[in-house]
Amino acid sequence: MKQLFGGGIHPDGHKDMSRGGAAVPVPAPETVVIPLCQHIGSACKPLVAVGDAVLMGQKIGDGEGRCSPVHATVSGEVTAIEEREVPGGAKVLSVVIRNDFKDARAEAKGAEDYMSLSAAEVAAMVREAGVVGMGGAAFPTNSKIASNEGKTETVLINACECEPYITSDDTIMCTCPGDVIGGARLLAKALKARKSIIAIEDNKPEAIAALRAEAGEDELVEIRVLPTRYPQGAKKQLILAVTGREVAPGARSGALFNVTTTANIFRAVTKGQPLLEKIVTVTGDGANAPQNVLVRIGTSFADVIKAAGGIAEDTKQVIAGGPMMGKAVDTLDVPVVKGTNSILCLTKACDAAADPVCIRCGKCASVCPMYLQPLYLYRYAKAGDKEMLNEYYLNDCMECGCCSFVCPGKLPLTETFVQAKQLLKGGK
Amino acid sequence: MNLTVSAAPHIRSNETTRKIMLDVLIALAPAMIAAVIFFGVRALVLTAISAAACVACDALMGLALRRKADCVGDLSAVVTGVLLAFSLPVSCPYWVVIIGDAFAIIVVKGLVGGLGQNVFNPALGGRAFVMLFWPAAVTRFSLDAVSAAAFGTVDIVASSTPLQTMSRSVLPEASLLDMFIGNIGGCIGEVCTLALLIGFAWLLYRGVISWRIPAAYVGAVAVLTLIFYRGDNALAWMLYSVMGGGVMLGAIFMATDYATSPTVPAAQIAYGLGCGVLTVVIRYFGIFPEGVTYAILIMNAFAWALDKAMPVRRFGVMKGGAGK
């Protein structure tokens, strides 16, 4: 199949390591740590105090503006509200709950006639359930639903999961195709779109079959199989691959939802179920038994890894997310948050070159899906030349990592661009 | 457990500078074999001496300037050495080659910052330098050089190359087939068009270079010599022009040098066309029969400017400004 967007790479998938079967539930831990900000936007204010008893599914943090509430994922007692480290290194105010192992649930009620709800009603239920974008950005999903009503002909469901190693979206499609297709129908209807297109890469044949069987002949849902290529799951690349149109700089990119988000929208609306657990892929050559696990949000990486068979002694790197865009963690004492889709354990860290040399081969530019010139951006970033960084559209860079991946001189391209963006913002 | 924290991406392809240079050397191998067949073992010895001299100079520069990068292991100096030797006649004295190598690596490449930083192609810079002082060593050819001894001095049986004949507006005696397989006078690596095309195919297959610069270069030479032909057969004049002299070697291996050529696709086309036009202009109006060396060196100076002048279309902005 011909590739449908410019640039990109085709790294080894490593997906068969963890693929297959249902996600194995990780036992609920002794304590969970629920960060009060697990999305892009303003942080929640705690709704509970130390010593309070909480029910599983009870809302424990919420706030104004672009904010997504958080919920207790176990029943028990609040033992602390303090800053804790989250994957990526930041310290975030978090509610710590001691599990009483009763799983006493807060009442939840879904809508019965969910296909006749308005976008505003769906958005309200999705917000109450704390659903955020699961594809990585963790944007509050309700804002996206509310702002796209009547403005889009098609709803795009992103099932590419183009990062190597990760199979959590794959797993939810294979094991809960009903929630995915249901969510896709629901979104098409609520947003008054003609249909939802589920875009999936051809390296997930089982998921494709499961979705097709579930969807049957349905005018509201189309399953679009795309040739596998990273970063096809990036917003603008996916829109280009599916519609053939490039989103103009700064323009709205429209209604695009990750596939796990879509399933969670369905659960939130039909069952009133808040986002309490998620499928996490524990994988990599450092993982003793690569697999997908079902984890309560707030469970530490250490507990998840232990339940998933542990990791090898010589594990050098543990990454929250995929190998291309994930963040390396310095401790396993960080909680799984809403945006955690994978815990990748590698026995080999990527060696930084001592004195990296650009030979101007231009491979970086040929793989850049945003048509940038990393070789020149790198020079201007090193020189701190803000004017030229703008002229070469540094801010179009989405940090997908393709340039660094292919660079024969092993230049720290993506890393340098992340820092240079701070420079443009007027930071350090 | 000690966890390493580093920035994404956490995986990299196994592509290295060394592998790219190795691919270039592999692509040059057919021309080396052809040179030994037509010019004898001295061609191989001269090439090996040139490569060794370049590596030695590169290592010295690395030490002198305290560069951490492994400048010997990356094989880039070997490529420079081979290309410089390929652009000289087999009869060229070894000491002339070594002086060319030293100038190429120390002045043209090393002093301006080393690998990737040089504005001018080191091999061609080295060739231009020795041409300035010892023009006879560079421009006098021996057709029957199989007899040229690998060591000691060489008796130059002065004979004319196809280009030298063509500079008198006369078609060479060699057949087109001889031109294609390299049974003609000329520099070590430039005579066998067939071998160079095999190398080109390898570089394309391995993704080391794109077709743009060589195609634009050879295309421009072909079109210009077809239009402004001399003698009475335009097509023959064009074919002899393309296969005689260093156009193929220059277009495939010299003009595509990463450091000294543009990276933007449109700029690569413009650059290749520029090389082709200059080659023909210098051949027609210059004092030497050949124009490849100076054509590429002049275009080297425009490489970065061309990249800047022909920016890539921004994502989401269509040509003509729509969507802006």
- What whole-number distance in Å separates Cα of residue A82 and Cα of residue A95? 7
Residue B63 has a pLDDT of 87
Query: Judging by beta carbons within 10 Å of its beta carbon (0-12, 13-18, 19+), is residue B28 exposed, middle or buried?
Result: buried
Q: Indicate whether B287 pLDDT > 80.
A: yes
Q: Nearest by CB to A246, which of B115, B116, B316?
A: B316
CATH fold of B17-309: Ammonium transporter fold (1.10.3430)
C-alpha triplet A266, A270, A273: angle, nearest 5°: 80
8 A C-beta contact, residue B192 and residue B34: yes
For chain A, what are the domain ranges?
Answer: 114-271, 363-425
Does residue A351 or residue A299 have the better pLDDT? A299
Superfamily name with CATH number, domain A114-271: NADH-ubiquinone oxidoreductase 51kDa subunit (3.40.50.11540)
Of the CA atoms within 13 Å of residue A375, those in its CB half-sphere come to 25
Quote the pLDDT of residue B69. 62
**Chain B residues within 8 Å of chain A (Cβ atoms):** 1, 3-13, 15-17, 19-20, 67-69, 74, 76, 114-116, 258-259, 261, 263-264, 307, 312-318, 323-324
A&B contacts, CB < 8 Å: 152
Residue-wise pLDDT tens digits, A251-273: 887 789 999 999 999 999 999 98
| Order of strands, sheet of A154-159, starting from the edge strand that comes earlier in the sequence | A221-226, A195-201, A154-159, A256-258
The arithmetic mean of pLDDT across residues A52-79, rounded, is 94
At A298 the three-state DSSP class reads: coil
Q: Please state, in angstroms and rounded to a whole number, the distance separating the CA atoms of residues B127 and A75.
A: 80
User: In the prediction, which pLDDT does B239 show?
Assistant: 96
Residue A17, pLDDT above cutoff 70: yes
**A chain contacts of residue B74, beta-carbon cutoff 8 Å:** 357
CB B210 within 8 Å of CB B268: yes
Contact A324/B11, CB-based, under 8 Å?
A: yes
Test B3 with A330 for CB contact under 8 angstroms. Answer: yes
Task: Please list every residue in chain B whose beta carbon sits closer than 8 Å to the beta carbon of residue A14.
Answer: none
Dihedral angle at the C-alpha atoms of A130, A131, A132, A133, nearest 10 degrees?
Answer: 170
pLDDT, position B78 = 97
For residue A362, give the nearest of B10, B67, B263 by CB distance. Answer: B263
Size of chain B, expressed as the number of residues it contains: 324
Across the beta sheet with A31-35, the strand order is A31-35, A91-99, A76-85, A53-54
Q: Which of B5, B6, B11 to mutate to test the interface with A (most CBs of A within 10 A)?
A: B11
Domains of chain B by residue range: 17-309
pLDDT tens track for A79-111:
999 999 999 889 999 999 999 999 999 888 888
State how far the Cα of A1 lies from the Cα of A4, in Å rounded to an integer: 9
Instruction: Give me the phi and psi of B211, to 5 degrees please.
Output: -75, -15
Phi, psi of B85 (to 5 degrees): -60, -40
3-state secondary structure B86-118: HCCCCCCCHHHHHHHHHHHHHHHHHHHCCCCCC
The band of A14, judged by pLDDT with boundaries at 50, 70 and 90, is: very high
**Residue B149's pLDDT is what?**
55
Chain A residue with minimum CA distance to B8:
A325
Q: Kindly state the DSSP code that residue A273 receives in the 8-state scheme.
A: -
ipTM of the complex: 0.91
Chain mean pLDDT for chain B: 90
Q: Do A401 and B9 touch (CB under 8 A)?
A: yes
CA dihedral B4, B8, B14, B18 (to 10 degrees): -90
Query: Which regions of A231-380 does DSSP assign to beta strands (E)?
Result: 256-258, 277-283, 291-296, 317-320, 327-329, 342-346
Higher-confidence position of B106 and B63? B106
Tokens 């701070």 — which residue?
Answer: A422
Judge whether A345 and A328 are in contact, CB under 8 Å. Answer: no
Residue A69 has pLDDT above 50, yes or no: yes
For position B173, what pLDDT does the model report?
85
Q: What is the pTM of this model?
A: 0.92
At B167-189, the pLDDT tens digits run 888 888 889 999 999 988 899 99
DSSP helix/strand/coil, A179: helix
Q: What is the pLDDT of residue A428?
A: 47
CA distance A24 to A343: 15
The pLDDT assigned to B185 comes to 87
Q: What is the pLDDT of residues A390-428, one digit of tens each?
A: 999 999 999 999 999 999 999 999 999 999 999 998 854
Q: Do A328 and B68 touch (CB under 8 A)?
A: no
pLDDT category of residue B67 using cuts at 50, 70 and 90: confident
Stretch among A326-335, B29-38, B157-166, B270-279 having the lowest mean pLDDT: B157-166
At residue B100, the 3 state secondary structure works out as helix
| Section A6-26 average pLDDT | 93
Q: What is the pLDDT of residue A147?
A: 87
Q: Distance between CA A311 and CA A383 in Å, rounded?
A: 42
CB-CB neighbors (< 8 A) of B15 in chain A: 363, 406-408
Q: How far is CA B25 from CA A322, B92, B196, in A?
A: 36, 22, 12
Backbone φ, ψ for residue A86 (5° rounding):
-115, 165
Residues of B in contact with A318 (CB under 8 A): 3
For residue A225, the cross-strand partners are A200
- Chain A residues with CB inside 8 Å of B9's CB? 323-325, 350, 401, 404-405, 414
Nearest to A72 by CA among A122, A36, A124: A36
Cα distance from B110 to chain A (closest Cα, Å)? 13
